[in-house]
C-alpha cells in the first residue's frame, strides 16, 4: 500500500486540528503529513478536494448477532457493513447466544474479528452485566474486564434491580469501565410496541410511555452519584432524559449518553404506515423529543451518535407490527443521516460530528485516541459531506435490509476507511 491523499480537510479533535493537507500512507503508516506533497514513482494519488479526513469513526452500539443469530448478521458481514458505513471500529452488544457473560465468548469474537476483512474493523465486545442477561445474578465482571470487555450492559433489557445495578456500578468502576443502561421501566412498558401518545391511540397499538425511560435514568443517576461511578445511557430517546443527563453533567457526575440517527430524524408519525421497519426499542418518539435530541447534541449533553445497528432477517420483520422484533440496520445510513439532519440544518459543525462519531466514544470507553501524525498507523475515515445519494437497502453490505430509510435521499457518505494496514473504498 502506497497512497497519497491530496487536498483533504483534516479534522482531528484530539489534536484540535482543522486544516487542508496531504497525507502519504505507506504500508498502513502515515509516512508524511504536510501541505503539497508531490507524488513520485508508483504512488497512487487520490484527490480529496472538498472531502474530510477524520480519525476512524467508532460505533459504540452495534449488534453483530454472532454467535447465535448468524442468519441476521455475522461478525464478517457486520464488519463489512461498518466499513461501508465509514466505521473503523465497533463495540458489539452482548445479546448473543450464548450471551457475552463468559470470557470464552469474548475470545471467540476477538478471533473472528481478527480474520474478518483481515482486521480492517476493530471489534470491542461489551459484556453482559448479569448472567445470561437475565437480571438476576451479576456476571463475572472482573474476568470479563480482563478478557477485554470495554463496558457492561444487558442491552435489549434494562438492569431492573436497583441492588444489582448498584453492585454493577461499584464493580465496574474498580476496572474503570462504564455501565451502559438500556433504560426502560418494564412494568410501565409491558406489551408496548411503540411510543405512547396520539399515534398509538389512533393506531390501536399498545404504547411505551416516555416516563418509563425517564424514571430508569433518574434512578440510575442517583445510583451513579451514590457509588461515584461511570454511567452511560444507551440510545436515549426522550426530552426528559436529555434534561436529566444535562443536570447530572452540571453537577459534575460521570454520566454520558448516546443518541441514534433514527431518534434524531424520525417521529412516531412514521409508524402510521405500520411498516415494521419503524419498530424499535426505545420507540420513535414525538417531535418535541426529536427537538430535544438536537438541542442535546448541540449543547454537548449528548456525547455520542451510535446506531444501535440491529439487523433482522426479512422473514422476521415480514409479520404484523405487534409480532415483529424491535430494531433496524444502522451502520450504512448513519453518516448520511447525521450530515443531512445535523450538519445541513446547522445543528452541528463537521468538527462536532467527528467528535460524536470518533473522539467521544473512545473517551467514554477509555480507549486511546487515534493520532493522525507521521509515524502512526493510519486509522482514518474519509467523508464526502456533499455527496447526494439514494438509500437502496438491496445494496447494503449488512446481511439484513430492515431500514425505514429505504428510498431516502441523503447528503454525505463515507468515501473509504483505513485501519490496520487495510483500506476499504466505497
The one segment of 158-166, 211-219, 305-313, 330-338 that binds Zn ion by CB under 5 A: 305-313
The one segment of 71-79, 99-107, 164-172, 303-311 that binds Zn ion by CB under 5 A: 303-311
* DSSP string for 391-418: --GGG-SSS----TTTT-EEEEEEEEEE
Q: CB of 189: closest distance to Zn ion in angstroms?
A: 15
Site string for Zn ion, 103-122 (x = CB under 5 A): --------------------
The one segment of 79-87, 266-274, 307-315, 328-336 that binds Zn ion by CB under 5 A: 307-315
* DSSP string for 234-266: SS---HHHHHHHHHHHHTT--EEEEE-HHHHH-
Footprint on residues 359-418 left by Zn ion (CB under 5 A)? none
Footprint on residues 124-163 left by Zn ion (CB under 5 A)? 155
* Residue 213 engages Zn ion in binding (rule: CB under 5 A): no
Report the sign of the C-alpha dihedral through residues 168, 171, 176, 177, in that order. Answer: negative
Which is closer to Zn ion, CB of 102 or CB of 155?
155
Q: CB of 280: closest distance to Zn ion in angstroms?
A: 9
Place of cell 445511557: 233
Q: CB within 8 A of 35, min separation 6: which ones? A: 20, 21, 22
Q: CB of 411: closest distance to Zn ion in angstroms?
A: 27
Which is closer to Zn ion, CB of 94 or CB of 240?
94
Is residue 360 within 8 Å of 306, Cβ to Cβ?
no
* Residue 289 engages Zn ion in binding (rule: CB under 5 A): no
- Helices (H) and strands (E) in the chain — how many of each? 14, 17
CB atoms within 10 A of CB 362: 21
User: Among 59, 102, 308, 384, which one carries the catalytic annotation?
Assistant: 308
**H-assigned helices in 269-358:** 287-299, 314-317, 334-338, 350-354
CA distance 106 to 95: 13
The one segment of 49-57, 244-252, 304-312, 371-379 that binds Zn ion by CB under 5 A: 304-312
What is the maximum alpha-carbon separation in the chain?
68
Residue/partner pairs of 14-22 with CB below 8 Å, 24 or more apart: 14/55, 14/359, 14/369, 14/370, 14/371, 14/372, 15/371, 15/372, 15/373, 17/372, 18/351
Which is closer to Zn ion, CB of 12 or CB of 308?
308
Residues in contact with Zn ion, total (CB under 5 A)? 2
Which is closer to Zn ion, CB of 88 or CB of 281?
281
The one segment of 29-37, 81-89, 300-308, 377-385 that binds Zn ion by CB under 5 A: 300-308
Q: CB of 34: closest distance to Zn ion in angstroms?
A: 42
Q: CB of 268: closest distance to Zn ion in angstroms?
A: 19
Which is closer to Zn ion, CB of 94 or CB of 207?
94
Which is closer to Zn ion, CB of 55 or CB of 311?
311
Q: CB of 229: closest distance to Zn ion in angstroms?
A: 22
Q: CB of 41: closest distance to Zn ion in angstroms?
A: 48
Which is closer to Zn ion, CB of 101 or CB of 308?
308
The one segment of 206-214, 273-281, 308-316, 383-391 that binds Zn ion by CB under 5 A: 308-316
Distance, CA of 416 to chain centre = 18
Q: Phi and psi of 380, rounded to 5°? A: -135, 150
CA distance 224 to 261: 27
Q: CB of 6: closest distance to Zn ion in angstroms?
A: 39
Q: Which among 205, 263, 194 has a CA at the least distance from the CA of 234? A: 263
Based on the number of CB atoms within 10 Å of its own CB, is 49 exposed (0-12), middle (13-18) or buried (19 or more)?
Answer: exposed
Which is closer to Zn ion, CB of 303 or CB of 384?
303
Side-chain-side CA neighbours of residue 137 (13 Å): 5
* Residue 308 engages Zn ion in binding (rule: CB under 5 A): yes
155 is catalytic: no
CA distance 252 to 35: 41
CA distance 306 to 309: 8
| Contact residues for Zn ion, defined by CB under 5 A | 155, 308
Residues known to be catalytic? 308
Amino acid at each position: 500500500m502506497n497512497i497519497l491523499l491530496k487536498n483533504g480537510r483534516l479534522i482531528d479533535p484530539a489534536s484540535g486540528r482543522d486544516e487542508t493537507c496531504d497525507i502519504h500512507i505507506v504500508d498502513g503508516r502515515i509516512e508524511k503529513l504536510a501541505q503539497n506533497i508531490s507524488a513520485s514513482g508508483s504512488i497512487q494519488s487520490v484527490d480529496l478536494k472538498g472531502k474530510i479526513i477524520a480519525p476512524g469513526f467508532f460505533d459504540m452500539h452495534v449488534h453483530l448477532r454472532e454467535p447465535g443469530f448468524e442468519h441476521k448478521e455475522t461478525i464478517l458481514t457486520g464488519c463489512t457493513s461498518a466499513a461501508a458505513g465509514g466505521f473503523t471500529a465497533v463495540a458489539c452488544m452482548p445479546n448473543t447466544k450464548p450471551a457475552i457473560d463468559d470470557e470464552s465468548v469474548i475470545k471467540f469474537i476477538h478471533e473472528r474479528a481478527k480474520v474478518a476483512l483481515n482486521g480492517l474493523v476493530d471489534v470491542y465486545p461489551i459484556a453482559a452485566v448479569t448472567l445470561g442477561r437475565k437480571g438476576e445474578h451479576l456476571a463475572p465482571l472482573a474476568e470479563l474486564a480482563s478478557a477485554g470487555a470495554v463496558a457492561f450492559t444487558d442491552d435489549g433489557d434494562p438492569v431492573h434491580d436497583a441492588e444489582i445495578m448498584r453492585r454493577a456500578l461499584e464493580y465496574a468502576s474498580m476496572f474503570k469501565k462504564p455501565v451502559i443502561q438500556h433504560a426502560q421501566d418494564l412494568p410501565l412498558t409491558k406489551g408496548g410496541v411503540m411510543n405512547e401518545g396520539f399515534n398509538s391511540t389512533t393506531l390501536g397499538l399498545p404504547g411505551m410511555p416516555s416516563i418509563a425511560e425517564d424514571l430508569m435514568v433518574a434512578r440510575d443517576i442517583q445510583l451513579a452519584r451514590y457509588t461515584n461511578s461511570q454511567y452511560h445511557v444507551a440510545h436515549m430517546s426522550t426530552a426528559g432524559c436529555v434534561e436529566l443527563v444535562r443536570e447530572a453533567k452540571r453537577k459534575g457526575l460521570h454520566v454520558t449518553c448516546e443518541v441514534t440517527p433514527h431518534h434524531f430524524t424520525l417521529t412516531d408519525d412514521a409508524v402510521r404506515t405500520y411498516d415494521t421497519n419503524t419498530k424499535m426499542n426505545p420507540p420513535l418518539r414525538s417531535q418535541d423529543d426529536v427537538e430535544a435530541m438536537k438541542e442535546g447534541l448541540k449543547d454537548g449533553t449528548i456525547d455520542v451518535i451510535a446506531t444501535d445497528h440491529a439487523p433482522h432477517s426479512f422473514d422476521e420483520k415480514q409479520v404484523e407490527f405487534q409480532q415483529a422484533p424491535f430494531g433496524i440496520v444502522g451502520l450504512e445510513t448513519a453518516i448520511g443521516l447525521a450530515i443531512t439532519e445535523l450538519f445541513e440544518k446547522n445543528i452541528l459543525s463537521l468538527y462536532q460530528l467527528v467528535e460524536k462519531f470518533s473522539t467521544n466514544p473512545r473517551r467514554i470507553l477509555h480507549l486511546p485516541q487515534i493520532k493522525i501524525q507521521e509515524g502512526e498507523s493510519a486509522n482514518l475515515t474519509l467523508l464526502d459531506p456533499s455527496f447526494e445519494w439514494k438509500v437502496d437497502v438491496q445494496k447494503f453490505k449488512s446481511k439484513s435490509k430492515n431500514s425505514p430509510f429505504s428510498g431516502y435521499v441523503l447528503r454525505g457518505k463515507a468515501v473509504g476507511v483505513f485501519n490496520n494496514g487495510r483500506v476499504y473504498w466505497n
